Amino acid sequence: MKNQLLIAMPNLQDPNFSRTVTYICEHGEHGAMGIVLNRPTDLRLADVLRHMEIEGGLGAAGEQIVYLGGPVEEERGFVLHSHTAPWSSTLAINDDISITTSRDILEAMARGDGPDLTLVALGYAGWAAGQLEREMQDNAWLSGPADQSILFELPAERRWEAAARLLGVDVNLLSSEAGHA
């Protein structure tokens, strides 16, 4: 499911994931990790840089919204971004998108030398081995293709429905009952 969007079904009541869309950065035998794309915080990038004592001439980029990426390690920062030369701690998800957790990317962003497309998040969503697969079987999630406009361009409040529309689905019309043969 790596490089997929995980779309919460309307019946998912967990307050951490209700009406969310999550980008899956890693998925394998040990579990899965993703970044929730539509939970903006009151923080801006400039606030994070000030807190980390990173100086730079951000200008309008300093107003970039910081997202709550998930309920795990909410004090840890993640930068989801268009693929560029690797930073100190970067995971290339595919040829176009990477995720970085090191300070050097924030320093570059503060100087105006960062990636063209970025989403800054605090925390991540994590699943133990087999957990996400069970939740999918329980009809908690839809999965679909990732789309850069949903990741980086659409306003947060439009991302959940837009991700479902990529599958031809109107999430507001979905039933909470799963069909099993």
Q: What is the pLDDT of residues 60-81, one digit of tens each?
A: 678 899 999 999 999 999 999 9
User: CA-based diameter of the chain, in Å?
Assistant: 58
* pLDDT given for residue 148 in this prediction: 94
Query: Is residue 149 a part of any domain in this protein?
Result: yes
Question: Mind listing the pLDDT tens digit for each residue in 103-152?
Answer: 999 999 998 888 999 999 999 999 999 999 999 999 999 999 999 999 99
Query: Is residue 114 a part of any domain in this protein?
Result: yes
Residue 51: which domain range?
A: 4-173
DSSP string computed for the chain: -TTEEEEE-TT---TTTTT-EEEEEEEETTEEEEEESS-EEEEEHHHHHHHTT-----GGGGGPEEEE--SEEEEEEEEEEE--S--TTEEE-SSSEEEE-SHHHHHHHHHT-S-SSEEEEEEEEEEETTHHHHHHHTT-EEEEE--HIIIIIS-HHHHHHHHHHTTT--GGG--SPPP--
pLDDT band at 84 (very low <50, low <70, confident <90, very high): confident
Q: Does pLDDT of 181 surpass 50?
A: no
d(CA 166, CA 81): 21
- Kindly state the percentage of the chain with pLDDT values over 90: 79
Q: Does pLDDT of 17 surpass 70?
A: yes
Query: Is residue 38 a part of any domain in this protein?
Result: yes
Question: Mind listing the pLDDT tens digit for each residue in 19-54?
Answer: 999 999 999 999 999 999 999 999 999 999 999 999
Q: Which residues contact 146 (CB under 8 A, 6 or more apart)?
A: 3, 4, 5, 23, 97
d(CA 58, CA 123): 23
* Amino acid in the structure at residue 84: T
Average pLDDT, the chain: 91
81, 118 in Cβ contact below 8 A?
yes
Query: Is residue 178 a part of any domain in this protein?
Result: no
157, 38 in Cβ contact below 8 A?
yes
Query: Is residue 36 a part of any domain in this protein?
Result: yes
Query: Is residue 162 a part of any domain in this protein?
Result: yes
Q: What CATH number does residue 160 fall under?
A: 3.40.1740.10
The tally of domains found in the chain comes to: 1
132, 120 in Cβ contact below 8 A?
no
d(CA 163, CA 145): 8
Query: Is residue 94 a part of any domain in this protein?
Result: yes
Instruction: Find the mean pLDDT for residues 158-170.
Output: 94
* pLDDT given for residue 90 in this prediction: 93
Query: Is residue 16 a part of any domain in this protein?
Result: yes
* pLDDT given for residue 85 in this prediction: 73
Q: Does pLDDT of 176 surpass 90?
A: no
